[in-house]
Amino acid sequence: MKHNSSGFSALSFLGAVALLALFVLLCACNAQAQRLPATVVPTHYTLELAPDLKSATFSGVESIDVNLSRPTRSITLNAIEIAFQSVTIFPNAPQQTGTVSLDSAKQQATLTFPKTVPAGNATIKIRYTGILNNELRGFYLSKAEHRKYAVTQFEATDARRAFPCFDEPAFKAIFDISLVVDSGDTAISNTPIVADTSGPGAGKHTLEFETTPKMSTYLVAFLVGDFACTGGQQDGVDLRVCSTPDKVALTPYALSVAKYVLHYYDDYFGIHYPLKKLDLIAIPDFEAGAMENFGAITYRETDLLLDPATAPVDDKRNVALVVAHEMAHQWFGDLVTMKWWDNIWLNEGFATWMENKPVAAMHPEWNMQQVVAGDEQDTLDVDAQPTTRAIRARADTPAEIDQMFDGIAYGKASDVLLMVENYLGEETFR
């Protein structure tokens, strides 16, 4: 029999296409499998954390109030680098003790109980331990010249390194947080301190914070150390800029910017800043430029601290823009949050577009229109590359989500908003 080589090649090609399509489908299903089911929804977290900076570890006691839309024996949430000590569930049925199975690839933990948990409200209580890592994410050690600090960076998918949680932006809940820290240290979180009691144990005190508004897990923050702050008030909101004690003299400039920006945004949005306080904290070891944690914004030191008597205009403008950007997030991102990370441009594009407005009003001599035009040219250069993408793009896994934080989400989204604003007119767009 004569072999038909051309026919064999065609069939091989079709087979390869079919295999490729199957592979893509399987990959997509696997990526989607990293999303949590919507059948269990958290409403309230109570977190009690005790960090040990010397051993670079922490312990936690956590209660999560949840609503189950249907009966189940298992509940899946996010957790990584967490060692579970015990898990119980109550009270809509007799209390049950559960077992935990971990899937490190998906960064998930599945809690399984002996009997079916009825639909309705329930409370999950978890005792666990974790590590203060050196990865600049999750709950980690930040190292200054003379000491270490325990700080957090949760965006996009790293709250799960500090406490087991439903670590997706749509799963908003309220949080009650308390921290057990050394007597010589303080702690900062999203809301003001409401109680400070000695113990438990010698050389410790416990700080309890006011209940947060409803928010996503990635916006939770807690920082432990000997922070020093410069404080003020604007529009009834307590403002502070905090740093390590040796750099507190470099905090007043950012405080003056924050006062101006808060008043500007209160007026522009017609929605008053929703919390009682806002802290801006400079962290010695910090990967991101800044992070918009609700009520407790964290910054790289160079993006927050300076001496206005000696700093060049470029540095002053940079600090002002970063402060304005993160404060814009208190509305765009924190008060209102995208449902999933494929719409991160709704956070970053809006904040990038918005940051220029208060800075231009505060310093007309800086000619911010020219700065914006220069940034637009940089964005056009990025968008001209073969690796460009649509403003809104699919992202399912933590790695894919991290890739969304690029010049497209920030610069191109901002410039598209600016284009629409210029077409409609500023006041109409507002």
- pLDDT tens digits, 9-67: 444 444 444 444 444 444 444 455 589 999 999 999 999 999 999 999 999 999 999 99
The pLDDT value given to residue 27 = 43
Strands 204-209 and 222-225: unpaired
Mean per-residue pLDDT, 214-219: 98
Q: Could you tell me where the DSSP H helices lie in 149-296?
A: 252-269
pLDDT of 172 higher than 90? yes
Q: Measured between alpha carbons, how far is 324 from 245 in angstroms, rounded to an integer? A: 24
Mean per-residue pLDDT, 199-226: 96
Taken as a whole, the chain contains a residue count of 430
Does domain 227-326 correspond to CATH entry 2.70.98.10? no
The pLDDT value given to residue 288 = 86
Contacts of 201 (CB under 8 A, 6+ apart): none
Mean per-residue pLDDT, 119-143: 96
The pLDDT value given to residue 33 = 59
DSSP β-bridge partners for residue 57: 52, 131
User: Active site residue: 62, 210, 326, 355, which one?
Assistant: 326
The pLDDT value given to residue 32 = 59
> In which element (H, E) is residue 306 found?
none
DSSP β-bridge partners for residue 177: 47
- Are the beta carbons of 401 and 341 closer than 8 angstroms? yes
> CB atoms < 10 A from the CB of 198, how many?
11
Known catalytic residue: 287?
Answer: no
The pLDDT value given to residue 131 = 97
The pLDDT value given to residue 18 = 47
Q: First CA to last CA across the chain, in angstroms?
A: 77
Mean per-residue pLDDT, 249-261: 98
Domain boundaries, given as residue ranges, for the chain? 43-225, 227-326, 341-429
pLDDT per residue over 71-125, tens digit each? 999 999 999 999 999 999 998 778 999 999 999 999 999 999 999 999 999 999 9
Mean per-residue pLDDT, 375-385: 92
Looking at domain 43-225, its CATH architecture is Sandwich (2.60)
Q: What is the CATH number of domain 341-429?
A: 1.10.390.10
- Are the beta carbons of 166 and 217 closer than 8 angstroms? yes
Q: Measured between alpha carbons, how far is 89 from 108 in angstroms, rounded to an integer? A: 18
Helix, strand, coil % over all residues of the chain, rounded to 5 = 35, 35, 30
The pLDDT value given to residue 19 = 46
pLDDT per residue over 265-285, tens digit each? 999 999 999 999 999 999 998
Do the domains at 43-225 and 341-429 have one common CATH topology?
no
The residue that leads in pLDDT, 63 or 393, is 63
